Structure 1
Amino acid sequence: MALLKFEDSSHAASKAADWPDLGTVDSRGARLFDARPAYRRLTVVADAELVDAVDSDPWSPKYLLNGLLTHNFVTLYRYADDGPPGNVPWHVFPNGAKHPLGWVLADVQAAHQVRNIIYTNSPHSFTYTGITGNRVEAAERDVSSTAYRSLPSDEARRRREADAIAVLAAECVQADLFITERPYLFENSVSKQHGVTVCSLADALALVGLYLRAQSQYVLIQSPSGTFPLVGSKLGYFWVGARELLPEVWRWGAAFGQIKNDELQGLALSAIERIRRALIKRDELNISLQSYHGNNAVSEVITALDELLVGCMGAIDVTARVAHDVLGVSGRSSNAGWQRSGWLRDVARANQSVADLVQPGGHQAHVLKILTAMRNTVHAEVLQGAMHQSGDGSQEPLVRLPPGEAQDIVTAMDATGGRAHWGVKQEIQYASYVDPQRFVEAALPAVIALLNLIMKTVPVDKMPGVHLAPQDCLPPAGDSWQNSFAEQKRQSIRWQLGL
């Protein structure tokens, strides 16, 4: 699971705004209250072998990432230790200088501790800068690193040197992202400098997807050449994303459609809608972490988290009402709830397997406890937060666990991945806090897994009049552009969501 977070660039050189021509983005024309994109272009440096896909390549995360990097809001530079391959054309500038457009070149033969960096994405000019200081030499000497440990010492030293030059070249370009699979850069602080976020191909997909959605660009499919873009709406993008994350809901929808039960069908659709809204709030939380500072960041993050928790709990409550009706449990369905012991006893009499889904002490019961305790602040004191300053001087917004429930929440977290997995921080000022992003990246997949398990276990196929074939439990077949649930569209959205 990627943490959708760019490195803090507040101490890096100021990056100038570079607005794209909006006329090339939306041909429908401007409406009165349309806004300009909120942020400058995303600047990306990538190891060339990760961004060399062509239109004829098979569909894959690499293919999609290459397409997204051609978007008008993104500036891409390629990098290779040995420079570009021989088939890359070099542009000749008026002064006679030559340079391949869209490439970053590092002159590693320069004098000791000064390595020249040249880059351009324009046919009119290029930038000449360089790496200074001793960070490359420090990487060469870093024998404590586990990266390349299986290689001979001279080769391992050479690899660490090359990796350090690569990421520092990205720093010279003032890149936001450096897309790479170099193991040394994922374990060493040389890559955590000056606002450059080092990420794998999969994490880059999630970060680029988040950036584009922040610009209201919901790209479904785009080829590596930048042609044939398929862009969706916000509503459709997150609706398809929610259904892709809840594949068991196809089974529910087919069963309730066969018996023409509009109420149960509406409840199933409500579960999807709740998760759709939760996904949007997840985006808002992640964007707030990039956009706001101080108390404004705390306020925006808590607002998004609060609504996300309500959406997740609402989806789980909906499945309890469906289970109540499908199993024929006595009493009113409005009293159904997976956290209610009395209702679960009634469920056990009807179907023990369904009741066992949230048996006390089990994994799902712990997940439910965490979600319920965090969400129940809607009935009590609102979620509270604070800015916390780390030892390195950076600040981050934290969310306080509800005081009366904190110990039970932490105990449940210990049983479901551990405190670090859920983003628990040590007690600060006699209260327990969580990193809101880590909490959401743990909680949302856990909730989705619980929902799918419930939908799979509740025996809708045993209802009178229901006769499900295997294809009834799958998305509509076909890969045409008109099929909103075509496999490529669903995969694209899931990869971009990082879930």
Structure 2
Amino acid sequence: MIIGPPPKFHGTRDILVEHPLLADADAREIFRLEHPVASSAPAQIFLDAILAVASTIASRSDLLVTSREVLLRDESIVTDRVLVADPELAIVLTALQLRSRGVYPVYRAGGGAFEVSKDLFFHAASYALTPAGHVLWSVTLQNEREGAPDRLAYLVQAVMTRVARSLQARDGVLRALFGRSGNNRADDALFDFDSSMLFLSGAFDACAVLVDDHLGLDSSPMSVGWGRKSWLNQVKAKQSEIGSLLATGSENALLFEILGALRNTVHGEGISQTQYKSEIDGDRTLLRLPPRAGQKFIDAMRVVDPTGQIEVRELAPGRIYIEPLSAVVILYPRILRLLNELVAIVAQMASVTEVRIDFKAYPSTSATKNNIIFDESIAASIRRQLWL
């Protein structure tokens, strides 16, 4: 199922969480006259749904949170004055609106919700979504105490910081696409999409340097990179797990090609944005890929996404477009999981013995930085908020 177009969530008023509403029989009859039943749903269910939407509007709310299928699926009920969402999407939208106002909430099991700084929120998010970073950081610090060069710690820090920055830019894409329509919407989405992919690529680059160091390849800086075939072949020859993970033609190997096409570089053409109008979809924000992507990108997407969940359109020969919302919601987490697998392999190479982090060793009553980063319930709440 293709995601989009994204609903308009203005977030200017309150949110109404559904409960039994307007059970008055006279009110039902009034709405029966004003809203003829044209739905495939049974009449009573349809009327109940209309009453729920009307009550949301009457209460001056933007968002109706419900699990009722008729409300979520029947387009004849939906209006542009209210957004109907299931609880999972409602969490995403509400948290996104809060973050746009500078409020970064997290939830700890048994300790309730509280606010943290933006820096800490995305720092914790980087570890929540790249958990192997916990192990790699611990291993690197242990090795540093035993005389390993401290530049490795800086490289690990670079990986995790770039993931955090990428997540922060991805948040900007969601804000642009879910916010009010306007002249700046598409440009804002492109700017943050490009930034998110650039930082994510940077995290992979720093991880490649770590791999080169731990394998003792001593390669020149310009020759290190997952897109450098000569270097990658050396890595695969010395590290079988990476060889299996990035086997030629595999989905993981193709993800690298896709990521390369989705980021601007200092060489050649870049990504541009456009507003696509369709009688079916209405106004759409699409990102046009540079000509270098070509048929190779389409072929890679067919392997990685055979069911077409990520929207890719060739609107004219050689003009390939991708819908940014489906890219950051479906494709982005897959690329992030690949990074986590590579980080886990680096951690294994860095340590002979397995290192485990005991989350229970951190007291749950304190909201200090380490306790937030290492708390599993907080990590789960962040993943839900970020739609990842």
Give the alignment's TM-score, normalised by structure 1.
Answer: 0.69
Does 2:79 correspond to 1:178? Answer: no
State the 1:253 CA deviation: 0.9
359 and 376 in structure 1: CA distance in 2 versus 1, 3 angstrom threshold: farther
Does structure 2 conserve the Cα–Cα contact (< 8 Å) formed by 1:325 and 1:333?
A: no
Maintained 8 Å contact 1:6/1:176: no
Q: Does 1:44 align with 2:15?
A: yes
Question: Which of the numbers 71, 83, 107 marks the counterpart of 2:24?
Answer: 107
2:281, 2:54 → 1: CA distance?
A: 22
Q: Which residue of 1 aligns with 2:230?
A: 342
Q: CA 1:390 to 1:218, structure 2 compared with 1: closer, same or farther past 3 Å?
A: same
Deviation string 1:98-154 (CA, Å, 9 cap, x unpaired) is xxxxxxx35343474x23xxxxxxxxxxxxxxx86325x223xx15xxxxxxxxxxx
Measure the CA separation in 2 of the matches of 1:430 and 1:419.
22
Deviation readout 1:70-123 (Å, 9 max, x if unpaired): xxxxxxxxx31xx5xxxxxxxxxxxxxxxxxxxxx35343474x23xxxxxxxx
Aligned residues of 1:45 and 1:175 also touching (Cα < 8 A): yes
Per the alignment, residue 75 of structure 2 pairs with 189
Distance 1:291 1:162, change over 3 A: closer
Aligned partner of 1:203 in structure 2 is 89
2:263 pairs with one of 375, 378, 403? 375
Amino acid at match of 1:479: S
Provide the rounded CA distance (Å) in 1 between the counterparts of 2:197 and 2:281.
Answer: 30
For 1:327 and 1:274, how far apart are their aligned partners in 2? 23
**What are the ranges of 5 or more consecutive residues in structure 2 without an aligned counterpart?**
none
SS of 1:484 mapped into structure 2: helix
Q: What's the CA shift for 1:230?
A: 1.8
Residue 213 of structure 2 corresponds to residue 328 of structure 1: no
Q: Deviations over 1:190-210 (max 9, x none)?
A: 343123222111111111110
The amino acid of 1:448's aligned partner reads L
**Partners of 2:383 and 2:275 in 1: CA distance:** 31
Letter in 1 for 2:261: A
Q: What SS does the corresponding residue of 1:375 show, helix, strand or coil?
A: coil
> Closer, same or farther in 2 for the Cα pair 1:210/1:369, shift >3 Å?
same
Matched residue, 1:497: 386
Judged with a 3 Å threshold, the aligned counterparts in structure 2 of structure 1 residues 214 and 5 are, in CA distance, closer, same or farther, namely farther
1:224-235 alignment, distance < 5 Å: 230-235=114-119
Q: In angstroms, what is the RMSD of aligned CA positions? A: 3.0
Cα deviation 1:17-73 (Å, max 9, x = unaligned): xxxxxxxxxxxxxxxxxxxxxx764421222xxxxxxxxxxxxxxxxxxxxxxxxxx
For the 8 Å contact 1:5–1:207, the answer to whether it is kept is no
Structure 2 counterpart of 1:8, which letter? Answer: K
Distance 1:358 1:229, change over 3 A: closer
Question: C-alpha distance in 2, partners of 1:292/1:163?
Answer: 26
| Rounded Cα–Cα distance in structure 1 between residues aligned with 2:360 and 2:6 | 34
Kindly, what percent of the aligned residue pairs are identical?
Answer: 24
Structure 2 counterpart of 1:477: 362
Which residue of 129, 138, 142 maps to 2:38?
A: 138
Contact 1:388/1:397 (<8 A) preserved: yes
- The runs of 5 or more residues in structure 1 that have no matched partner are 10-38, 48-78, 84-104, 116-130, 144-155
Read off the aligned partner of 1:183 and give its amino acid letter: E
Q: Which residue identity does 1:368 align to in structure 2? A: F
Q: Work out whether residues 400 and 431 of structure 1, in 8 Å CA contact, stay in contact via their aligned partners in 2.
A: yes
Contact 1:177 1:199 in 2 (8 A): yes
Report the CA distance between 1:157 and its aligned residue. 4.5
Displacement after TM superposition at 1:364 (Å): 0.6
Structure 1 pair 107–491 and aligned structure 2 pair: CA distance change class (3 A): same
Shift of 1:228: 7.0
Task: Choose between structure 1 and 2 for higher RCO, CA contacts under 8 A separated by at least 6 residues.
Answer: 2
Which structure has the larger Rg over C-alpha atoms? Answer: 1
Contact 2:208 2:226 in 1 (8 A): yes
Between the aligned partners of 1:416 and 1:496, the Cα distance in structure 2 is 25
2:300 to 381, 405, 412: 412
* Separation (CA, whole Å) in 2 of partners of 1:399 and 1:342: 32
